[in-house]
């Protein structure tokens, strides 16, 4: 295996899973392949969530429909409409509570956070983003959460994407990081309020998920 002695001790490697750990900025840790051992369970649990709370294209306060389709699980779900961005206990489409966060989701997020140095991460919200070819997310900050002391953990599944990592000012030129199936990034501390986004998704076919990228974003919202 190509990883150094430290990672060799920390990870169990298999033929198609070569986890590695890299600090991309102060407070931001990239765990390549960390979600691979969970992929079957994650995808099965994802299908059950989407059956209860289907993906939908939400509208921004400015009136633009997002190219990314979204749903949520957990006790709080992120929503946007003409009245603003917020967390809501209920899915506005069904008026019912969002599906509970599956234990596979929670365990993976907590384990990844701990691996990245953020202990006791207990997310109450998981925003699930679906990118089809051409979908993108413009540079933004995540600041609808109550406590910026908690990290955010993001899990990439399916087609690869270019993640844009800016600075603390919108005008800072973003760096580009390819994120692939199974990669996890944990962001906290000085990285928590950095501007970030996703470049338009290139077309392709993923063996497990087809023509899409799914991103699970775990937050402590309340
Ligand atoms: C860096 N999602 O849902 S996840 C989002 O791939 C979002 O779907 C992107 O940005 C996606 O808000 C990127 C990575 C991410 C999430 C939150 C962050 C990076 C972050 C918060 C602070 C800094
Ligand atoms: Fe974000």
60 DSSP assignment: -
The burial class, CB within 10 Å (0-12 / 13-18 / 19+), for 63 is: exposed
215 is in an annotated binding site: yes
What span, in angstroms and rounded, lies between the C-alpha atoms of 202 and 211? 9
Query: Is 172 annotated as contributing to ligand binding?
Result: no
Q: Locate the ligand 1 atom nearest the alpha carbon of residue 191 and give its number.
A: 23
Measured between alpha carbons, how far is 54 from 71 in angstroms, rounded to an integer? 6
Contact 213, 148 (CB under 8 A): no
Q: Is 99 helix (H, G, I), strand (E, B) or coil?
A: coil
Task: Give which of 197, 199, 203 is closest to 133, Cα–Cα.
Answer: 203
Which residue has its alpha carbon closest to ligand 1 atom 7? 197
Joined tokens for residue 181? 């199936």
User: Which residue's CA is minimally distant from atom 12 of ligand 1?
Assistant: 142
The whole-angstrom separation of Cα 27 and Cα 192 is: 7
How far, in Å, is the centroid of ligand 1 from the Cα of 5?
30
- What residues line ligand 1, using a CB cutoff of 6 Å? 127, 129, 137, 142, 152, 154, 185, 187, 191-192, 194, 196, 198, 215, 217
Q: For residue 6, how many other CB atoms are within 10 A of its CB? A: 9
Give pLDDT, residue 176.
Answer: 97
Tokens describing residue 15: 């033929």
Atom index in ligand 1 nearest the CA of residue 197 equals 10
Structure-token match 């979600």, residue found: 35
Q: Which atom of ligand 1 is nearest to the CA of 219?
A: 17
Fold held by 8-219: Jelly Rolls (2.60.120)
Query: Which pLDDT value is given to residue 19?
Result: 75
Distance of CA 116 to the CA centre of its chain: 15
Q: What is the pLDDT of residue 141?
A: 97
CB 34 within 8 A of CB 112: yes
pTM: 0.92
pLDDT of residue 99: 99
Per-residue pLDDT of the chain (222 residues; tens, 9 = 90+): 344 444 433 443 344 556 789 998 999 999 999 999 999 999 999 999 999 999 999 999 999 999 999 999 999 999 999 999 999 999 999 999 999 999 999 999 999 999 999 999 999 999 999 999 999 999 999 999 999 999 999 999 999 999 999 999 999 999 999 999 999 999 999 999 999 999 999 999 999 999 999 999 999 999
Q: Is 86 annotated as a binding residue?
A: yes
Give the pLDDT confidence score for residue 3 in this predicted structure: 41
């Amino acid at each position: 295996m190509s990883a150094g002695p430290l990672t060799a001790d920390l990870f169990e490697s298999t033929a198609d899973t070569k986890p590695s750990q890299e600090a991309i900025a102060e407070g931001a840790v990239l765990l390549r392949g960390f979600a691979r051992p969970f992929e079957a369970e994650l995808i099965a649990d994802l299908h059950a969530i989407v059956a209860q709370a289907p993906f939908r294209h939400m509208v921004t306060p400015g009136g633009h429909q997002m190219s990314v389709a979204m749903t949520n699980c957990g006790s709080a779900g992120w929503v946007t409409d003409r009245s603003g961005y917020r967390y809501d206990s209920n899915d506005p489409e069904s008026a019912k509570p969002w599906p509970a966060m599956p234990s596979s989701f929670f365990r993976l997020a907590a384990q990844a956070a701990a691996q990245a140095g953020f202990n006791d991460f207990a997310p109450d919200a998981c925003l699930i983003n679906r990118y089809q070819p051409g979908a993108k997310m413009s540079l933004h900050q995540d600041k609808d959460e109550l406590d910026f002391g908690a990290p955010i953990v993001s899990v990439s599944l399916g087609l690869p994407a270019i993640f844009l990592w800016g600075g603390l000012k919108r005008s800072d030129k973003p760096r580009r990081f390819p994120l692939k199936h199974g990669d996890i990034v944990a962001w906290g501390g000085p990285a928590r309020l950095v501007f970030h986004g996703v470049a338009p998704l290139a077309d392709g076919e993923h063996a497990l998920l087809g023509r899409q990228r799914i991103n699970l974003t775990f937050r402590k919202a309340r």
